[in-house]
Every structure is written in C-alpha cells, then in structure tokens.
Amino acid sequence: MSAALPFLPFTRPTIDDETIAGVAEVLRSGWITSGPQVKAFEAKLSEYCGGRPVRAFNSGTCTMEIALRIAGVGPGHEVITTPLSWVATSNVVLDVGAKPVFVEIDPVTRNLDLGRVEAAITPATRAIIPVDLSGLPVDRDRLYAIAKKHHLRVIEDAAQSFGSTWKGKRIGAFGDFVSFSFHANKNITTIEGGCLVMNNDAEARLAEQYRLQGVVRSGHDGMEVELVGGKFNLTDVAARVGLGQLPHLAAFTTKRHELARAYFEQLTASGAIELGLRLPVADFAHSNWHMFQVVLPEERLNLKRADVMARLLAESIGTGVHYPAIHLFALYRRMGWKDGDFPHAEYAGRNILTLPLFPAMTPTDVTRVVTALTGLLRTHQKS
C-alpha cells in the first residue's frame, strides 16, 4: 500500500463534536439503554416522515422482519423481491417462514424490474420488498399501482434511501411500511440501528411488542405477553448519535450530489465509458447518492473485479462490493435457484464496484479515484 497518500475508504461517517459530547452526557446520565433519547429520536423521525408513526430498532434488518409479521406474512406465503441486495432482504422472508421469490433487475437502474413483477405473482403472494439500491428510489407510482391491483403489502427496503425523494415527496412520508437503516455506512448513522415507518398506531403498538419480547406494560407493575417478540431495541447512546446526525442530513446530501456530479464529469472526460465502464443513472432529482457504483466490463478486461480492487487498494483507495447476487449463495441454491436464472443481476453481482463517496471527501479525491480506475481499465483491455 502506498505510503505517499492517505487511505481513502469507500465510506466514512461524519460525526461532529457536539454529538460526541452529547453521547458523553448520555453515558454520564446512567440511562444508556432505551429511554428518553430513543423517544426523542423517534419523534424527530416521525416529523421527518410527515407525522407517520415511527419506531426505532437496533438494525434495519429486524424492521423488515417485523413489518412482515405485522402484515401477517408467514408459512405458505410468498414475497417478491430483488436478487441484487444485501442478503438480509430475503433472509427476513425466510425468518417468518415464507418463501422469497426473486425477480430480475433492470440493468440500467439495477433495481427490481417492475415490468416483470406481475408475472411472478401467485395466489400465495402476500407482499413485495423493493430495494432502493445505492439510494435510487424504485418507481413508487408503478410499485404501488401493482400492489393495489393485486392487494399486496409493500415493505420498502429503504435502507439506503434515507434522504431520497420521489417526485418531491420524501421517501418515508408516504406508502406502506418503510424500513430505514442507520448502519455506520449509511447517509446518517446511529452506529448500528434502523427504524420502521408505519401506517397507524395499531401497527406501531404491534411493532413495540415485537421489538421487546412481546411485552405489554400497564400501570406500575402490570405486564402481559401476547406474542413472541425479540430483542431489537435501540439504545439511548445510539439514539443520541442519530439525533446529532439528523440536522446535517441536507448538507450531507448536497455534498454527496456534488461528489457524484464530479464522478460523472471526470469519468466521462477520462474516457472510462468508451472503455466499457457502466455508470449509474444520473438521477439528481430523487437519489440521495448513498453510493456511487460502477459496473466493470468483464468481457473487455483481463482483470477480475478482485484484482481491480487489490490494485486500487495498493494505491490506498478502498472500494466495496454491494452486492453479490443473492440467489447464487449456497443457502439459496439449495432452494433451487441457479446460475442463469437472472442474467442481469448475475452480471452486476460479479462486476459491480462501489467507489469512495462520503461527505468529507473532496473533488481531488474523486480525481484520484477516477485516474487510478481509468488507468487500470485502459492498461488491462483484452487484446
């Protein structure tokens, strides 16, 4: 690894001194698990989502599982989703005893191809879980038209799209269930954590039961358990980080847009497109630019993606893979999925590459990445 240049990771959270001091105050308070900070965080999240009920959790994974349970999805049911996502998206379907049904992606947006969804609907279908890959929203108009027509619930895997919009409306401010993640690599973070946006108070009460062992409290000492819940509560320490992050969301998003524009401009000028590199959709009206992902042209390179990543790392540039195709993992192969089922998702899964993008970056950092990547593409073209 080069000693001349500082390491540039593919992402890095920005946490200000006021938030760090606030966390110290929470630690000194003696109340560090779920308490007043969580309630305050939920109130701010609800305000952000137009007053809809919001509950915070310790991950953006359990939120999807809980949404499925609230929706009554279980054994014998099917849930349509994308094969190009973090494996949690389909694992939660298995967790409730249902069957994930994968549908091919759109090779341009890399999101679920809504034009193929209706062909996958059967009498057992109960829900759709779309994913806003890298923060680019799935077409909400088409999505909800399909759901309404077939009487399906929607659990939006919006883990990557906090701060994104659809036709001027914030993701989370409308729709059915919306699941956000606040993992350390997301646009705002609680270190680990997430939240679920719901439709009414009855769903919110169920979410609270599923969040903590199914417990319902009353009075000073009343306790009842009506269903099997888990241990999914967010801590006050984590919530205080989230409270400190929220005021910076707009500035973070603006900076991400600036960096994404720089990538488009410089990759175009460098000749990377002519060398076969596939860029994301240049959507600056809806996306929060959670990630800047390119797809390598495997048919034109004599390097595999791992080799490209290793050579960039040697120049102190970190990259990521988001994500391998889910249906080709051993767990899902045992269920009958195989190579060739979803060619677009498989090609992306082999070749997608996440480039550095986070608010503390500079345009000079973008130039550094583009120069290194384009140099590799040019040097390692197949003859």
Q: Tally the C-alpha atoms within 13 A of residue 159's C-alpha that lie toward its C-beta.
A: 24
Based on the domain organization, do 189 and 275 belong to the same domain?
no
Domain membership flag for residue 343? yes
Based on the domain organization, do 228 and 298 belong to the same domain?
no
End-to-end alpha-carbon separation of the chain, Å? Answer: 29
> How much is the average pLDDT of 350-377?
98
**Active site annotation includes 186:** yes
Q: Any residues with CB less than 8 A from the CB of 56 and at least 6 apart, and which?
A: 38, 41, 42, 45, 190, 193, 194, 195, 234, 239, 242
pLDDT in tens, 274-321: 999 999 999 999 999 999 999 999 999 999 999 999 999 999 999 999
**Is the pLDDT reported for residue 2 higher than 90?**
no
**Would you call 134 exposed, middle or buried from its count of C-beta atoms within 10 A (0-12, 13-18, 19+)?**
buried
| Phi, psi (degrees; rounded to nearest 5) at 195 | -150, 160
Radius of gyration of the chain (CA): 21
- Name the domain count of the chain: 2
Mark which of 215, 248, 281 sits at the end of a domain. 248
Which one from 39, 167, 186, 338 is the annotated catalytic residue?
186
| Residues 38 and 382 sit within 8 Å (Cβ to Cβ) | no
**Is the pLDDT reported for residue 1 higher than 50?**
no
> The domain that contains 322 carries what CATH number?
3.90.1150.10
Q: Quote the domain boundaries for residue 277.
A: 249-379
Based on the domain organization, do 100 and 174 belong to the same domain?
yes
pLDDT in tens, 209-256: 999 999 999 999 999 999 999 999 999 999 999 999 999 999 999 999
Query: What is the per-residue pLDDT for 3?
Result: 52
Based on the domain organization, do 226 and 305 belong to the same domain?
no
**Is the pLDDT reported for residue 191 higher than 70?**
yes
> How much is the average pLDDT of 66-83?
98
Domain membership flag for residue 336? yes
Mark which of 248, 273, 301 sits at the end of a domain. 248
